[in-house]
């Protein structure tokens, strides 16, 4: 990567981390600290924890499209301003209703698509996967960091302090967007980055993608429901919220070992089998936690839970990416992200309702029932090969595109391709047999009118 691409990758990853921290830092503490509000109820806590997911789910695709029309940076800045405003409202909240309003407004800053599109715009095609990988690693890291520092900040400044810190971080991100993130000189081909309504509508009927979207929805329902139970259970066992990070730290580090083991089996075991194993780990964790009476047992089953969760969180997007038709990855991933955030909202709602009538242990047993349903949904899911994706630019003229299509389809390794005339590009999905240099030469020859 050159200096511009490295600066873009690190600055956009930093923005993503700070924004995700603001969404996730409250998860390990809200179920306990919200009890101080005069209109406290477990249902409202559930909505407050998952409320951001509703607006994220609704706006994820439109915000990406707006960035294509009005520019990446303006949409990112608008999203960060909305996120900051929601954080301030939640920070000044003196009731659960105002807290919920703040969380829902936080979710309107749905800038994930715009950030990824900007990363594509400022990077060369051959370096784009590296830039995306850096941002992807940062997204995963932000969740773990949030679990660590959320309880620490709440211990210093209370629940309001978390939201005020979040607002400050969002404003900091605006300055980073304005003065650190490189500006785009041209828009990269967006078929594999940004969604379109037409593509989303067509993909909605794809049975395989449907099952994966439902899977990420249920996965984030589980993690939201999990954090409605775990902090309360730990407090009942004598571990106060301000020191619960001391348990989360070894748990998360240990779960990385579990993730590594599962990832190591990728080459020997099919994706579907590992997915079912990961769901089984979530079931074992929920059953074990519902019966746990010691902190050691809670920690052990939390490791099991996060091992399964981490594997699914890391591999479901890759699976969707593999299944998506050529040139439709942006739409498939936009729809996937919407289901992901909607799952967080449903998890908060469900946990709020269940906790009104059942104990944390009984709620975890209900979660096992949901996991059994999930197993039935994905049992007939087909495993797929991992394909590589390429974007070939520099083609012009309808006749050139038609001739190019025939030539590329005849190449070894080509699985699918899409011609997008208005982008002057061809999207190719291929196996490792695909010869990129040969394809690029065909593009050059076709564009210059050679046979």
26's CB contacts (< 8 A; 6+ apart) are: 48, 49, 150, 159, 162, 163
From 356, 386, 416, give the residue that closes a domain: 386
Q: Are residues 41 and 97 in the same domain?
A: yes
For the entire predicted model, the pTM comes to: 0.87
From 150, 172, 189, give the residue that closes a domain: 189
Contact 252, 144 (CB under 8 A): yes
Q: What are phi and psi of 184, to 5 degrees?
A: -75, 140
Q: Are residues 184 and 206 in the same domain?
A: no
Q: Are residues 309 and 431 in the same domain?
A: no
**CATH number for 332:** 1.20.1250.20
Q: Are residues 402 and 362 in the same domain?
A: no
Contact 343, 216 (CB under 8 A): yes
Maximum pairwise Cα distance, the chain: 77
Q: Are residues 4 and 121 in the same domain?
A: yes
Please list the ranges in the chain whose pLDDT falls under 70: 185-191, 383-385, 395-401, 421-422, 447-451
Structural Rg of the chain based on CA atoms = 23
Q: What was the pLDDT predicted at 95?
A: 94
Q: What was the pLDDT predicted at 197?
A: 80
Q: Are residues 148 and 285 in the same domain?
A: no
Instruction: Provide the residue range defining the domain that includes 33.
Output: 1-189
Contact 231, 244 (CB under 8 A): yes
Q: What was the pLDDT predicted at 216?
A: 93
Q: Are residues 301 and 352 in the same domain?
A: yes
Q: What was the pLDDT predicted at 59?
A: 92
From 119, 154, 189, give the residue that closes a domain: 189
- Report how many domains make up the chain: 3
Q: Are residues 63 and 185 in the same domain?
A: yes
Q: What was the pLDDT predicted at 69?
A: 83
Q: Are residues 170 and 202 in the same domain?
A: no
Q: What are phi and psi of 347, to 5 degrees?
A: -60, -40
Q: Are residues 247 and 184 in the same domain?
A: no
Q: What was the pLDDT predicted at 451?
A: 47
Q: Are residues 236 and 368 in the same domain?
A: yes
Q: Are residues 313 and 422 in the same domain?
A: no
**CATH number for 441:** 3.30.70.100
Structure-token pair, residue 79: 């999203």
Q: What was the pLDDT predicted at 385?
A: 65
Q: What was the pLDDT predicted at 75?
A: 93
- Which residue from 31, 150, 168 is spatially nearest to 99, judged by alpha carbons? 31
């Amino acid at each position: 990567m050159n200096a511009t691409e490295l600066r873009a990758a690190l600055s956009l990853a930093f923005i993503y981390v700070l924004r995700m921290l603001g969404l996730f830092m409250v998860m390990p503490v809200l179920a306990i600290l919200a009890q101080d509000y005069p209109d406290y109820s477990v249902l409202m806590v559930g909505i407050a924890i998952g409320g951001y997911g509703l607006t994220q789910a609704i706006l994820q695709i439109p915000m990406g499209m707006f960035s294509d029309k009005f520019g990446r940076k303006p949409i990112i800045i608008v999203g960060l301003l909305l996120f900051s405003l929601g954080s301030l409202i939640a920070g000044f909240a003196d009731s659960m209703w105002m807290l919920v309003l703040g969380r829902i407004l936080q979710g309107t800053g749905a800038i994930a698509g715009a950030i990824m599109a900007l990363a594509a715009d400022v990077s060369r095609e051959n370096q784009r996967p590296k830039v995306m990988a850096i941002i992807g690693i940062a997204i995963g890291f932000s969740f773990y960091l949030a679990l660590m520092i959320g309880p620490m900040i709440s211990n210093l400044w209370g629940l309001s302090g978390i939201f005020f810190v979040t607002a400050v971080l969002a404003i900091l991100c605006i300055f980073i967007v304005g003065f650190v993130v490189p500006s785009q000189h041209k828009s990269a081909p967006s078929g594999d980055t940004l969604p379109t309504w037409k593509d989303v509508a067509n993909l909605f009927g794809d049975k395989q993608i449907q099952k994966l979207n439902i899977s990420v929805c249920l996965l984030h329902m589980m993690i939201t429901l999990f954090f409605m139970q775990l902090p309360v259970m730990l407090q009942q066992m004598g571990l106060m919220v301000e020191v619960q990070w001391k348990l989360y730290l070894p748990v998360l580090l240990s779960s990385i070992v579990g993730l590594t083991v599962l990832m190591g089996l990728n080459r020997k075991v099919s994706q579907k089998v590992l997915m079912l194993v990961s769901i089984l780990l979530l079931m074992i964790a929920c059953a074990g936690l519902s019966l746990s009476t010691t902190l050691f047992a809670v920690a052990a089953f939390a490791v099991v839970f996060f091992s399964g969760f981490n594997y699914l969180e890391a591999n479901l997007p890759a699976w969707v990416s593999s299944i998506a038709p050529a040139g439709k990855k942006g739409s498939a991933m936009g729809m996937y992200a919407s289901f992901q955030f909607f799952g967080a909202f449903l998890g908060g709602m469900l946990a709020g309702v269940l906790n009104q009538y059942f104990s944390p242990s009984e709620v975890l047993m209900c979660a096992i029932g949901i996991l059994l349903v999930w197993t039935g949904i994905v049992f007939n899911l087909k495993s797929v090969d991992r394909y590589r994706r390429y974007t070939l630019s520099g083609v012009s003229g309808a006749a050139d595109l038609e001739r190019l299509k025939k030539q590329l389809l005849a190449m070894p390794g080509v699985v699918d391709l899409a011609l997008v005339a208005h982008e002057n590009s061809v999207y190719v999905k291929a196996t490792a047999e695909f010869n990129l240099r040969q394809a690029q030469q065909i593009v050059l020859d076709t564009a210059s009118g050679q046979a």
